[in-house]
Chains A and B, each alone.
Chain A
């Protein structure tokens, strides 16, 4: 039983689909952040698999930069979320429909 590139791409797609389901059904912003982390990780698996089966380091490089972006996204996003929670007491997406300048 040989594990091929297709196996990894199917796994990556399944995990990406789980993340997409999370993004679409979640209304709580913290849970929405969790779903985006799943999306980024699913892509990372695909990058590493292509890097291995094509014999090229470029995929791993892109995976590194994706991890760096995910880390900074969490830092800024959670900071904004804490500010919003201090002001309104809620982190519900439905309550963020109006903007007041």
Chain B
């Protein structure tokens, strides 16, 4: 009973929040609505008994991803309305029909199939976090390591792309070049202050 109430409440809230994210013309409304929607999605994970996944959802999405978006939006002019041109509705209709057919297959697959066996059955004797750790560090160790390397590459790429003069290596440059780069950098800064 309570499960049903919680499910319908959070389903309605999530759908409303994500609809606002998709439909609004204000970038800040979209950002805040999506942060709220991410929190509401973690409620489904807690209802489904995936406690660790729910905690990760809150930490990673509303903690890290939303913070990166908020940081990125400081670079863009977000106070004005987002103006978007509409063109080629036939293309959108064809893509939408294809996506609808695909979604029907995806949703029917787990309902139609009957003789499925659990690879890593859920053990109620241990907690969710403990069981997740045991499966993750035995059966999924290689994907876990690859994900770690991928996150490291993404972090370095983000720093190099967004940081100022991060594409130059100070260790590979001569002293004169560094001094020259430093001079031009401070010159730029004073110019910006003058503006």
Residue numbers of A with Cβ under 8 A of B are 1-3, 5-22, 24-28, 30-31, 33-35, 37-38, 41, 44-45, 48-52, 54-58, 60-61, 63-65, 67-76, 78-83, 85-86, 91, 94
Given contacts A9-B111, A71-B60, A71-B151, contact A14 B158 (CB under 8 A): no
Docked-complex contact B103 and A17, CB < 8 angstroms: yes
**Nearest 4 pairs between A and B by C-beta?**
A79-B161, A72-B154, A22-B22, A56-B118
CA distance A31 to B18 in the complex (A): 12
Q: In the complex, A16 Cα to B107 Cα: how many Å? A: 11
Chain B interface residue count, Cβ-Cβ cutoff 8 angstroms? 74
Residue B56 is within 8 A (CB to CB) of chain A in the complex:
yes
Produce 1/0 per residue, B113-130, CB < 8 A to A.
000101111100000000
Task: Please provide the chain B residues from 55 to 85 with a CB less than 8 Å away from any CB of chain A in the complex.
Answer: 56-57, 60-61, 64-65, 68-69, 72-73, 75-76, 82, 84-85
- A34 contact set on B, CB distance < 8 A: 21-22, 30-31, 34, 69
Which B residues lie within 8 Å of A16 (CB)? 103
Closest A residue to B24 by CB, please name it: A31
- Which residues from chain A contact B116 at a C-beta distance below 8 Å? 54
> 1/0 contact trace for B8-49 toward A, CB 8 Å?
000100110011011000010011001001100100110011
* B22 touching A82, Cβ below 8 Å: no
